[in-house]
Amino acid sequence: MRFDLIVVGGGHAGVEAAAAACRLGKETLLITHNLDTIGVLSCNPAIGGIGKGHLVREIAALDGVMGKAADAAAIQGRVLNRRKGPAVQAPRIQADRQTYAKTIREILDTYKNLHLLQDTVLELIIEGEMCVGVKGRISGCIHSEGVVMTTGTFLDGRIHVGNVKHDGGRAGDPSSIALSASLREFNLPIGRLKTGTPPRLDKRSLDTDKLSIQYGEDPRPKFVRFDRRSLQLPEVPCMITYTTPATHEIIENALEMSPMYSGAISSSGPRYCPSIEDKIVRFSDRDSHQIFLEPEGLDSLEVYPNGISTGLPFDVQLAIIRSCPGMQAARIVRPGYAIEYDFVDPRCLRKTLETEMIKRLFLAGQINGTTGYEEAAGQGLIAGVNAALAISGCESWVPDRDTAYIGVMIDDLVTDGVTEPYRMFTSRAEHRLKLRSDNAELRLTRRGYELGLVSEQLWDAYRQYESELDSRRRWLKETRIYPNRLDERQKKKLGAGLKRDMTLYELLKRPDIDYANLLCVIGSEADGEVDRVGEQLKIEALYEGYVEREEHDNKRHKKYADVLIPIELDFDSIDGLSNEVKEKLRRLRPATIGEASAISGVTPAAISILLIHMKSKG
């Protein structure tokens, strides 16, 4: 058998990689352990959130798969950070697990050049310095022009529940032991990481009267902007409970039975998605932690208690659950577990996600030390695109740090590597005012179309949107409004009044004026109706000054790149720097302003504060 490209693994990275390569016209083989687990959500049934939602919006802007499946499978959704500025807002949805995986499969089935094969890959076929295929357990040698490996938590995966250990890539799935050994043979730098998941509960065993309910937003937010389908699944709300002092006592008394504390697991887990054991130890002053009881689906009787991932023994898991309000009689249907697995140090990768030592071998997803469906999908897309471009002999494409969160993630991974599972946060992006969830299409769709990634349908919808934006922006900038020509109704609508004549665009920059107000003020036909173009222009007007300032600061800082930062400087004493920036500066101790600016998440604004502080100290 021979294909242009082979993608190993049908998780979130593999799906996006295979779909992207197909969109670029490559005959692609997706080979995975079990065709029924393509697109499976291994952990929580939710997609998006701060940083992660930005990634999904970017994937959608490049016509990727994740956003489409998430919209189709959503049973609840919210825009997180609603009270904060648009730059840090992002959608998050709860998904019906089965619909999500089913939709992924339906989308993949639309690609005529995608071939699926259920088999276990045992090793890579390398000729000279080039990866030219894989060897499947049943299918034998399969040749190709390139390979994308997206094996997630499966490489030499070992599952722990208390002192019960067994090989496994995820509950119910095998570990990839032979493939891991094959990678070691080719001298890829391999390390070990861990993650964990909570037990799943039988919904019928919960006392819902003792739980608070959280509904999603109406209308439900979507990841795909130009999808006009109105069909959506009915809502299923989340429920909320919390740990109690009794829970904490149970965990403290059982700590030595946790694989992370008994020494059975020594690798690092995700600091920002800690196990309940870690939370109790690290935040010992807190006597309660919130637990979101997330629905697993429309017809599912299972509930996912988000916030209590654990590797403790089964009986301790049950005691923990039963010590929380509303769960005194709860039944566990799937035990929680911790999993340790091999990853490849991403510093051995180029930005295209091709390995430095083996040509045409691309790695994407959790294999590169990340955690999360969205992070995996973003990398999968980039690996799939660049594998296809390399096969065609075309120039590679990777978005820069100031173009996309995907670019930030890839630059972070290949430059800094990981010491714990890498997760996306808005604080990692120094250009976050520009990299907003609302403008993902404006940043990426044109380039995606030039590459051949974006369908004609999406491109047409995008162009219509872009031209509507341009013409309305022009109109707003050319239309002036004068204080002495306002009638009483207009004055009332304007609230804070108008001190001088100005363009409608300038007026839109005022925080108290949204697009609906603006239309009311001028008595426009579409009185009060805010559409997406209007919303986009409002955000653009609001951020324009800040983004310009950010770019100006960037240029200015380049002049100061060689300025030395005093060794004795106490970053913690600098007012105005966020705790995250202080922590990074303290840990990495940059010698110059140039080095400080190159640290992921250290924004131009933070550099300005640092410079002002240094100047004030002479």
The pair of structure tokens assigned to 413 is 């991974």
Residue 346 binds to ligand FAD (criterion: CB under 6 A): no
Beta strands 114-118; 74-80: pairing state: unpaired
Residue closer to ligand FAD by CB (options 258, 517) is: 258
Residue 30 binds to ligand FAD (criterion: CB under 6 A): no
Q: Is the dihedral of CA 521, 523, 528, 532 positive or negative?
A: negative
Residue closer to ligand FAD by CB (options 225, 423) is: 423
Residue 607 binds to ligand FAD (criterion: CB under 6 A): no
Q: Which stretch binds ligand FAD (CB under 6 A): 10-18, 94-102, 203-211, 456-464?
A: 10-18
- Helix residue ranges, H only, 24-96: 52-61, 66-73
Residue owning tokens 């654990």:
310
- Residue 212, burial from CB neighbour count under 10 angstroms (0-12, 13-18, 19+): middle
- N-terminal to C-terminal alpha carbon distance within the chain: 70
How many residues bind to ligand FAD according to rule CB under 6 A?
Answer: 36
Query: Using CA atoms, how far apart are residues 14 and 8, in angstroms rounded to an integer?
Result: 7
Shortest separation between residue 139's beta carbon and ligand FAD, angstroms: 11
Q: Which stretch binds ligand FAD (CB under 6 A): 60-68, 189-197, 444-452, 606-614?
A: 189-197
Residue 182 binds to ligand FAD (criterion: CB under 6 A): no
Shortest separation between residue 259's beta carbon and ligand FAD, angstroms: 13
Residue 275 binds to ligand FAD (criterion: CB under 6 A): no
- Helix residue ranges, H only, 266-404: 276-282, 314-322, 373-391
Residue owning tokens 């995008």:
462
Q: Which stretch binds ligand FAD (CB under 6 A): 32-40, 67-75, 467-475, 555-563?
A: 32-40
Binds ligand FAD by CB under 6 A, chosen from 89, 197, 386, 597: 197
Chain CA centroid to CA 434, Å: 17
Residue 28 binds to ligand FAD (criterion: CB under 6 A): no
Residue closer to ligand FAD by CB (options 193, 429) is: 193
Q: Is the dihedral of CA 208, 239, 314, 280 positive or negative?
A: negative
Residue closer to ligand FAD by CB (options 86, 152) is: 152
Residue 139 binds to ligand FAD (criterion: CB under 6 A): no
User: Is 280 in contact with 290 (CB distance < 8 Å)?
Assistant: no
Query: Using CA atoms, how far apart are residues 560 and 579, in angstroms rounded to an integer?
Result: 24
- Total residues belonging to the chain: 618
What residues numbered 490-529 form the site for ligand FAD, per CB under 6 A?
none
Q: Which stretch binds ligand FAD (CB under 6 A): 2-10, 77-85, 294-302, 494-502?
A: 2-10
Binds ligand FAD by CB under 6 A, chosen from 5, 6, 11, 534: 11
Binds ligand FAD by CB under 6 A, chosen from 28, 76, 99, 195: 195
Residue closer to ligand FAD by CB (options 91, 590) is: 91
Query: Using CA atoms, how far apart are residues 378 and 194, in angstroms rounded to an integer?
Result: 21
Binds ligand FAD by CB under 6 A, chosen from 51, 372, 399, 407: 372
DSSP 484: G
Residue closer to ligand FAD by CB (options 383, 518) is: 383
DSSP 362: E
Query: Using CA atoms, how far apart are residues 406 and 389, in angstroms rounded to an integer?
Result: 18
Beta strands 361-363; 140-149: pairing state: parallel
Residue closer to ligand FAD by CB (options 76, 153) is: 153
Residues at the binding site for NAD(+) are 269-283
- Helix residue ranges, H only, 232-358: 245-254, 259-262, 276-282, 314-322
Residues sharing a CB contact under 8 Å with residue 411, sequence separation 6 or more, in sequence order: 351, 400, 401, 600
Residue 24 binds to ligand FAD (criterion: CB under 6 A): no
- Helix residue ranges, H only, 283-404: 314-322, 373-391
Residue 603 binds to ligand FAD (criterion: CB under 6 A): no
Binds ligand FAD by CB under 6 A, chosen from 144, 151, 243, 275: 151
Residues at the binding site are 9-14, 121, 176, 269-283, 366
Residues at the binding site for FAD are 9-14, 121, 176, 366
Query: Using CA atoms, how far apart are residues 602 and 528, in angstroms rounded to an integer?
Result: 40
Residue 439 binds to ligand FAD (criterion: CB under 6 A): no
Nearest to 465 by CA among 457, 516, 219: 457
Query: Using CA atoms, how far apart are residues 132 and 375, in angstroms rounded to an integer?
Result: 27
What residues numbered 373-402 form the site for ligand FAD, per CB under 6 A?
373, 376
Residue 320 binds to ligand FAD (criterion: CB under 6 A): no
Residue 317 binds to ligand FAD (criterion: CB under 6 A): no
Residue closer to ligand FAD by CB (options 168, 604) is: 168
Residue owning tokens 């004795």:
568
Q: Which stretch binds ligand FAD (CB under 6 A): 31-39, 60-68, 257-265, 313-321?
A: 31-39
Residue 51 binds to ligand FAD (criterion: CB under 6 A): no
- Rg of the chain on CA atoms, in Å: 26
Residue 120 binds to ligand FAD (criterion: CB under 6 A): yes
CA distances from 53 to 125, 438, 549 (A): 37, 11, 26
Q: Which stretch binds ligand FAD (CB under 6 A): 92-100, 144-152, 210-218, 293-301?
A: 144-152
Binds ligand FAD by CB under 6 A, chosen from 121, 201, 250, 358: 121
Contacts with ligand FAD by CB under 6 A lie at 8-14, 31-33, 37, 42-43, 120-121, 150-154, 169-170, 173, 176, 179, 195-197, 273, 339, 365-366, 371-373, 376
